[in-house]
Amino acid sequence: MPKGEGKLIAQNKKARHDYTITDTVEAGMVLQGTEIKSIRNSRINLKDGFARIRNGEAFLYNVHISPYEQGNIFNHDPLRTRKLLLHKKQIARLTGEVKSPGVTLVPLKVYMKNGFAKVLIGVAKGKHQYDKREALKRKDVDRQISRTLKNYSR
């Protein structure tokens, strides 16, 4: 985590497996009522989430924030579209990057920073199946090497 980041709430581990992340951007989220309480309780799921830029604004789709247990009638729709807070220059840069084919915006993690919920958005290019297998093989080899070195140091 970069300096200044607070408590990690949720992480999308599948994103780094399915995509090659080329760039990341930190964004705030526009939340309603009890959503921040659910996020503080780590009741958020980024698995199927993605971001899009429409009419010069960034939005987050398919991110599930569970309803707050004590929220009664004031609860929100768990899968509603949420607006992302970014500067115009950031939105313009992301728009340019997303125009190329096969590139999308994926939420990587949600964390608290100075009392605000922040989402780390990654500019991602999809991996092929053989790329995923190659990454897993490389990970296994690295793990095996570190185990061997650890045993020799004893």
Specify the CATH number for the domain of residue 96.
Answer: 2.40.280.10
Per-residue DSSP letters for 52-85?
EEETTEEEEES-EEPPPTT-GGG---TT--EEEE
* pLDDT on residue 102: 87
* CA–CA–CA angle 99, 13, 120 (5° rounding): 55
Domain assignment present for 43: yes
pLDDT of residue 2 exceeding 60: no
Query: Quick one: DSSP state of residue 16?
Result: H
pLDDT digits (tens, 9 = 90+) for 30-73: 998 888 888 888 899 998 899 999 999 999 999 998 888 887 77
Domain assignment present for 92: yes
Domain assignment present for 118: yes
**Residue of 13, 14, 46, 21 whose CA lies nearest to 104:** 21
Q: Containing domain of residue 114, as a range?
A: 8-127
The tally of domains found in the chain comes to 1
Domain assignment present for 52: yes
User: What is the C-alpha to C-alpha distance for residues 25 and 4, in angstroms, rounded to an integer?
Assistant: 15
Domain assignment present for 107: yes
User: What is the C-alpha to C-alpha distance for residues 42 and 111, in angstroms, rounded to an integer?
Assistant: 10
User: What is the C-alpha to C-alpha distance for residues 134 and 17, in angstroms, rounded to an integer?
Assistant: 11
Domain assignment present for 135: no
Domain assignment present for 138: no
Asked if residues 84 and 58 have their Cβ atoms less than 8 Å apart, the reply is: yes
Asked if residues 136 and 80 have their Cβ atoms less than 8 Å apart, the reply is: no
Q: What pTM was estimated for this model as a whole?
A: 0.79
pLDDT of residue 1 exceeding 50: no
Domain assignment present for 144: no
Strand partners, 106: 122
**Tokens matching residue 112:** 């608290």
User: What is the C-alpha to C-alpha distance for residues 139 and 1, in angstroms, rounded to an integer?
Assistant: 21
